[in-house]
Amino acid sequence: MDHFEEDLVAALREIVKDGNWQCVGKKCDFDSPCTKLYSEDGEHIVLVHTEDDRFWAMDSSCPHEGGPLDLGDIEDLGDGKRVLVCPWHHFDFCLETGASSMGLQNQVYEVRVVQDMIYINTQNELCLSPIPETDTSNGKAIPSPSEDTLCFWATKILCTPDPKEKVAMTLEVQERWNSGEITEVGQATPPVQPSRKENLTVLQPGKIKRGKGGTQASRIALLHSLANIEQWAIDLSWDVIARFSSVRLDTGEPLPRQFFSDFVKVAGDEAKHYHLLETRITELDSFFGALPVHNGLWQSATDTSHDLLARLAIVHMVHEARGLDVHPQTLSRFAAQGDCSSVEVLEVIYQDEITHVAAGLRWFTYICSQEERDCLSTFHDLVKQHFKGYLKPPFNTEGRKTAGMTEEWYVPLVKPPS
């Protein structure tokens, strides 16, 4: 009798447990190595299908900084051990246990295949498509008066994954700030990394093929790469506003209001650039997201998130200045193919980018002056600390000079002749 009761309890426990099994679809629907499954509460899951025809499941967000594990790579460590590697910072997670060699732990879920149907043991309802959010504001967030600040909107834009929405919101906030409708800078905590659409394929920067502009496909690849950079540039502009809004100089003074106005303008310019490039890509019978992208530019933002001077130096005085350097060659590639429409877009971007380098230089020298630092030596030290390697010629001397960056700023950072 006691044995019968134990069996009954075990059976009841199994029934309760089985109540959490979710059927997510047919086995044949999951040929891809990684498939993201969406949950209404935001606890999304990645279903992994390995080469030995086994299935695994774990939370789709990396517990390090929320990276998209569904875009990660599966690596075989031998002895039957496989890990899923986050594409952002390369944290690995064991498919069986969720443990990482870096000391982190991800939630894993039991998976069963029954009569060619996939079941996952979780309390959450799962589906293959994103669950639409309930929108009671006609597509626009309605902040309270205390939230209607520049930093509130900066953070909201950073959390907006759709680039078209990001562009539209940027231009709207720029207009409201310039007209005086938004009056306060405010404070807000920006996300660790801006949001991106789920359908983007993210690769390491060195794996992106940009092309040389000799064919239409190659020109599309170049324009696509530039559009990706411009999307990150929009976010970098809003991040510098939100992340450093409460900075006080060594004098105790806050950043002048003009600092924020300058970077609102930069954000607006970058939004305009993305729109121009995205439109041109569409005219060439493609679309943004058709090719892989990288998030390498954001690594510089992460590395300088603690230091405004470092952010200005690396992002605006190194990376954006490098954009000026490559402009002549990029322009010549499109011109050689008679692509006048793309040439016009690139010329608009180039003229604006000169002013962006100038803005970074202006506020870098302003802060150094206020804090009685030597501008050149401070810049050189920060670049050596936060930028890997030497600055490489050729330099667009004329473009850099127009932005106010004369040779003493960058020539000392070139590798000396051996």
Reported in sequence order, the residue ranges of 73-227 that DSSP labels E, i.e. its strands, are 73-78, 81-85, 92-94, 108-109, 111-114, 117-121, 126-127
Query: Is pLDDT larger for residue 142 or for residue 328?
Result: 328
Identity of residue 374: D
pLDDT at 29 > cutoff 80:
yes
**Single pTM value for the model:** 0.66
Longest CA–CA separation in the chain, Å: 93
Identify the bridge partners of residue 341 per DSSP, sorted by sequence position.
none
CATH of domain 145-413: 1.20.1260.10
CATH 2.102.10.10 segments of the chain: 22-127
One-letter amino acid for residue 92 of the chain: D
Determine the Cα–Cα distance for residues 163 and 180; give it in Å rounded to an integer: 26
Residue type at position 287: F
Residue 82 pLDDT? 92
Copy the structure tokens of residue 366.
Answer: 């302003």
Give residue-wise pLDDT tens across range 74-124. 998 877 789 999 887 788 999 999 999 888 899 999 999 998 899 999 988
CA torsion sign, 218 to 221 to 222 to 223?
positive
Query: Which residues does residue 22 pair with via DSSP β-bridges, in sequence order?
Result: 120
131 pLDDT above the threshold of 80: no
Query: Of 15-29, 62-76, 333-347, where does mean pLDDT reach its minimum?
Result: 15-29
Q: Which two tokens stand for residue 358?
A: 């100038």
For residue 324, CA distances in Å to 232, 269, 393, 401, 406 come to 17, 15, 12, 11, 13
In the chain, which segments carry CATH 1.20.1260.10?
145-413
Fold of 22-127: Rieske Iron-sulfur Protein (2.102.10)
391 forms bridges with which residues in the sheet? 414
